[in-house]
């Protein structure tokens, strides 16, 4: 499953990490949520009567072939929001005898359906359980649910689709709804004749078995392979499709389904999706197992996409590309999401996690390969360069003490949903990237080949992965000094990440001392967690950054490690962690920071691009929590005036954005604003507003950063040009702006509070049927500074008649939070006042946690702390586990920011003031010289 980032305009809209070790849940044993394990299924035969014209419920029946593990009088399975009509239990030895006695279906969130029999079930003997029931369509997009869209000239059309991961197959039919209970599934769907496009995981079968039913058309599907229940999917629609059947790139039938009239937007998904599947098959040496691959774009979908085996469901904005409307960022996200779901065909579908405690075995690999696998097909997108930005971004989430580790026991549905978060995705992907480098790419690949082959159609724990990787390592010429399981256990079972403190033994020594500590944004907190940390280095005398295998390991012990580095005494500077392949930060002695600042400002290209990004990010974040003087960070940042690559600038923009937040309203803010304008001025003049034919893929992102800095910080030319472009667009809406600059242009036009600009853009949103365009507009409209329009916009979240879809409502709040300090304050008051209403109306997977995550990056003061206390006191009875973790992260970050103001403001203000006073002095002298020359020439 892909948790859609909703375009990078939201900042980092990813889930706040989950912790169930909070005051509410501490010391509670949740193991009673697990099925008792007294029986298991081998085969399901499911019939569903799905009619989009009936909005409340659907009829179904299921026949489950069950094997008891021990003698028992009870079968326990899951059922949720289901009314049981009848149950029959029979044995193979006497199929005519119904031994069902009674059942109970709990009303709590264990969702247990207990079926008791009149005679004992005998261990290892097969039984058949037949259940007839009525199910309810989900109103939160989890389960089987209804969706609608507007068809031009027709009106509102309906469809039915599903999202069963992680714990919602039980809403479709009674089943063993844990990933380890794999079985074969036979599906039959009855749908009204006016809905001709009905799809499930497998192709339709030709040897029909089921009876016809008056008023319905019958769709019988072939039996699946052995699989987990959460991977089932259903689609009942009037969709149309594009297919590879006439000119296949990939040798499996491949279709993209979408609303009628949108098939021209599916060509990218059809082409890239096939080429990506080929690349992944070649990499894994493992053929895709199902006989078809369907991808369907639905208007309403809780996640970005879902990897149902053979029928992958996507949100429209995550699959369809409209030339001239879709931004470069959205197109890239679509490529990544397609690759992410394709990767799941192996990591998740072929090999599943034993429980959702190991969600990272699915999502971490999908996160890593969504970049690596896309890079295999489209190297010009530079996805593995961009991966460093994802790594640096997740550091922010992972730098709080309350964060959960990658392997984290979860039991309740709420906890399980919460574990689909930044740790399971971005952090786990970053640790896997580190693993690829410390094992070497080929050993890593070979280990994954072994892992897939040895565990196909099985549910596993991390130990099976470690065993396969260890085998590949042992069979290679490469080695590491520890058992792989010992290394990875610490990375997966501990939250957070280390930072290394590196010092030369002496100015003329040939060795360094390295110590490690857990990095926490709030230095008032501490942790004894330590890791096995792979390290490598580069010296100024030989700046070769190519070999990223480890040259030493820092053990998980407290004393500093002495590492001999021949030639170190002759080096002006050194760098640890080539290409930032290791998931950690590095702090140096002052002399080395000064030397790095010197080389960056004199010849920055001497240092590898990814290490330039690392140095800026590490320096500002180490300064932020008091481990480095801000003077060193600012001296390093001076080099950005000559930096022309997007990756380094994106890293710097993220690192510097915190200063914008904490300096807001202070005397230092104008100095900081002027500094940012000076740093970005050469690129502003170079990139401008207009895309060029020679631009590389990432230039669109670079242009956005530079334009956003300049328009937001008051570059008059930038503001005026944005206003002109918006005015031209208002006067002639058919002449669209370059989609890549729309958000900057729209935001700039809205910051002045112009009601007409807001109303125009809101009407554009109402008129649009393209999900990509709608996303751009939603994320821009939050920039308005008009109080009445801002209030109107926020109320769209709690208005049941709002045209904003449920899946998009949280982005309304996040866009207001990210727009400006003033808007953020208004959004905070709104959320405190209306959280109970918001919680029910934003999609449940990431909606409220995305909102809380946005606040975690913006709230900084004691006043904010008081408001969060009020928020907690008012709504604590309804918070989910993920929301409680989000509030804990907010509190940690606020305390760190309060400490920041007390400890670092004066240093930052002093540096900015001294440097800009000098600049002003130089400017004044230059003006006097010019005036003197002018007077001399004209004899004035």
- Cα distance between the two ends of the chain: 75
**Closest listed residue to residue 648, CA positions, set 589, 706, 594, 595:** 706
- E strand residue ranges, 687-831: none
Beta strands in 505-544 (DSSP E): 511-518, 533-535, 537-539
Which residues have CB under 8 Å from 683's CB, separation 6+?
644, 649, 702, 706
What are the DSSP E strand ranges found in 802-911?
none
Q: Is 340 annotated as a binding residue?
A: yes
Q: Is 348 left (phi over 0), alpha (psi -120 to 50) or beta?
A: left
CA atoms in the 13 A half-sphere facing the CB of 487: 22
**635 is an active site residue:** no
375: Cα within 13 Å, side-chain hemisphere: 13
- Look at strands 585-587 and 498-504 and give their pairing: parallel
Q: Dihedral angle at the C-alpha atoms of 349, 354, 360, 363, nearest 10 degrees?
A: 20
Question: How far is it, in rounded angstroms, from Cα 568 to Cα 550?
Answer: 17
Other C-beta atoms closer than 10 Å to the C-beta of 441 total 12
Q: According to the annotation, is 363 in a ligand binding site?
A: yes
Q: Which residue among 220, 341, 806, 883 is the active-site one?
A: 341
Instruction: Please give the structure tokens belonging to residue 768.
Output: 């649009």
Tokens of 885: 């973790």
Helix (H, G, I), strand (E, B) or coil at 351: strand
Structure tokens at 72: 């028992």
Q: How many residues does the chain have?
A: 940
Q: Token match 């070649």: residue? A: 282
Say whether 604 counts as a known binding-site residue: no
How many Cβ atoms are within 10 Å of 699's Cβ, its own excluded? 16
- Tell which residue, 519, 402, 380, 325, has the closest CA to residue 23: 402
User: Do 190 and 217 contact (CB within 8 A), yes or no?
Assistant: yes
* 609-624 vs 590-603: helix crossing angle, rounded to 10: 140
Q: Which residues are annotated as a binding site?
A: 340, 344, 363
Residues assigned a catalytic role? 341
Q: Which residues are annotated as a binding site for Zn(2+)?
A: 340, 344, 363
């Amino acid at each position: 499953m892909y948790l859609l980032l909703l375009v990078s305009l939201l900042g980092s809209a990813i889930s706040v990490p989950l912790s169930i070790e909070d005051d509410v849940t501490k010391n509670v044993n949740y193991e009673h949520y697990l099925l008792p394990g007294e029986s298991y299924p081998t085969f399901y035969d499911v019939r569903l009567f799905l009619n989009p014209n009936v909005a409340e419920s659907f009829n179904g029946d299921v026949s489950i072939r069950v094997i008891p593990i021990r003698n028992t009088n009870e079968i326990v399975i899951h059922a949720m929001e289901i009314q049981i009509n009848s149950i029959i239990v029979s044995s193979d030895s006497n199929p005519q005898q119904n031994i069902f006695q009674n059942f109970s279906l709990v009303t709590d969130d264990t969702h247990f359906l207990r079926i008791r029999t009149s005679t004992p079930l005998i261990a290892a003997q097969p039984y058949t359980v037949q259940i007839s029931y009525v199910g309810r369509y989900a109103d939160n997009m989890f389960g089987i649910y209804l969706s609608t869209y507007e068809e031009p000239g027709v009106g509102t059309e309906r469809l039915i689709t599903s999202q069963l991961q992680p714990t919602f197959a039980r809403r479709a039919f009674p089943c063993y709804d844990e990933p380890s209970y794999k079985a074969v599934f036979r599906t039959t769907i009855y749908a009204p004749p006016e809905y001709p496009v009905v799809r499930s995981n497998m192709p339709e079968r030709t040897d029909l078995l089921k009876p016809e039913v008056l008023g319905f058309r019958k769709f019988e599907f072939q039996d699946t392979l052995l699989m987990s229940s959460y991977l089932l999917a259903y689609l009942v629609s009037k969709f149309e499709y594009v297919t590879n059947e006439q000119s296949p790139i990939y040798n499996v039938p491949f279709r993209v389904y979408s609303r009628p009239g949108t098939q021209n937007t599916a060509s990218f998904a059809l082409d890239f999706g096939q080429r990506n599947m080929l690349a992944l098959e070649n990499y894994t040496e493992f053929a895709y197992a199902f006989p078809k691959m369907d991808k369907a774009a639905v208007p309403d979908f809780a996640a970005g996409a879902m990897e149902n085996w053979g029928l992958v469901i996507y949100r429209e904005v995550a699959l369809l590309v409209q030339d001239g409307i879709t931004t470069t960022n959205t197109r890239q996200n679509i490529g990544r999401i397609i690759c992410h779901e394709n990767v799941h065909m192996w990591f998740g579908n072929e090999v599943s996690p034993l429980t959702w405690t190991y969600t990272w075995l699915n999502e971490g690999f999908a996160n890593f390969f969504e970049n690596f696998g896309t890079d295999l097909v489209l190297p010009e997108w530079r996805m593995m360069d961009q991966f460093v930005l994802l790594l640096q971004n997740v550091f922010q989430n992972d730098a709080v003490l309350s964060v959960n580790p990658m392997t984290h026991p979860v039991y309740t549905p709420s906890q399980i949903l919460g574990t689909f978060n930044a740790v399971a995705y971005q952090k786990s992907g970053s640790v896997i990237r580190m693993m690829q480098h410390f094992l070497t790419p080929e050993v890593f690949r070979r280990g994954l080949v072994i892992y897939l082959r040895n565990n196909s159609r099985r549910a596993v724990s991390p130990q099976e992965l470690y065993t396969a990787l260890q085998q590949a390592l042992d069979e290679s010429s490469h080695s590491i000094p520890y058992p792989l399981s010992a290394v990875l256990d610490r990375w997966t079972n501990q939250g957070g990440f280390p930072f290394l403190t590196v010092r030369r033994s002496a100015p003329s020594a040939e060795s360094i001392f390295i110590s490690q500590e857990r990095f926490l944004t709030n230095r008032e907190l501490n942790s004894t967690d330590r890791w096995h940390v792979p390290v490598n280095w580069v010296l100024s005398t030989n700046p070769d950054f190519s070999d990223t295998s480890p040259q030493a390991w820092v053990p998980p012990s407290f004393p500093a490690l002495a590492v001999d580095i021949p030639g170190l005494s002759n080096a002006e500077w050194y760098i640890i962690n080539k290409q930032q392949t290791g998931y950690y930060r590095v702090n140096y002695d002052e002399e080395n920071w000064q030397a790095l600042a010197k080389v960056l400002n004199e010849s920055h290209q001497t240092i590898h691009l990814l290490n330039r990004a690392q140095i800026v990010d590490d320096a500002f974040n180490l300064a932020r929590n008091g481990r480095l003087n801000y003077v060193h960070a600012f001296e390093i940042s001076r080099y950005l005036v000559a930096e022309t690559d997007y990756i380094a600038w994106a890293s710097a923009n993220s690192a510097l954005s915190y200063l914008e937040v904490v300096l807001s309203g202070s005397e230092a803010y104008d100095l900081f604003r002027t500094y940012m304008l000076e740093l970005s001025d050469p690129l502003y003049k170079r990139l401008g507003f207009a895309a060029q034919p020679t631009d590389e893929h990432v230039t669109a992102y670079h242009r956005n950063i530079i334009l956003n800095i300049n328009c937001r910080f008051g570059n008059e030319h930038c503001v005026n040009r944005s206003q002109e472009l918006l005015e031209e667009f208002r006067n002639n809406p058919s002449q669209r702006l370059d989609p890549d600059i729309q958000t900057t242009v729209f935001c700039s036009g809205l910051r002045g509070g112009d009601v007409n600009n807001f109303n125009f853009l809101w009407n554009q949103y109402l008129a649009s049927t393209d999900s990509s365009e709608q996303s751009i507009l939603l994320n821009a409209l939050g920039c308005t500074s008009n109080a009445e329009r801002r209030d109107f916009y926020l109320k769209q979240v709690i208005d049941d008649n709002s045209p904003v879809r449920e899946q998009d409502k949280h982005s309304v709040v996040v866009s207001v939070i990210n727009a400006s300090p003033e808007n953020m304050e208004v959004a905070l008051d709104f959320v405190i006042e209306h959280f109970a209403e918001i919680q029910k109306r934003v999609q449940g997977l990431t909606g409220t946690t995305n909102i809380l995550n946005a606040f975690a990056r913006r709230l900084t003061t004691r006043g904010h702390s008081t408001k969060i206390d009020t928020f907690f006191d008012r709504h604590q009875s309804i918070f989910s586990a993920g929301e409680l973790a989000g509030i804990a992260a907010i509190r940690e970050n606020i305390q760190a920011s309060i400490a920041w103001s007390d400890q670092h403001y004066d240093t930052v203000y002093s540096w900015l003031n001294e440097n800009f006073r000098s600049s002003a002095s130089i400017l004044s002298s230059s003006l006097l010289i010019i005036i003197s020359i002018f007077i001399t020439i004209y004899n004035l």
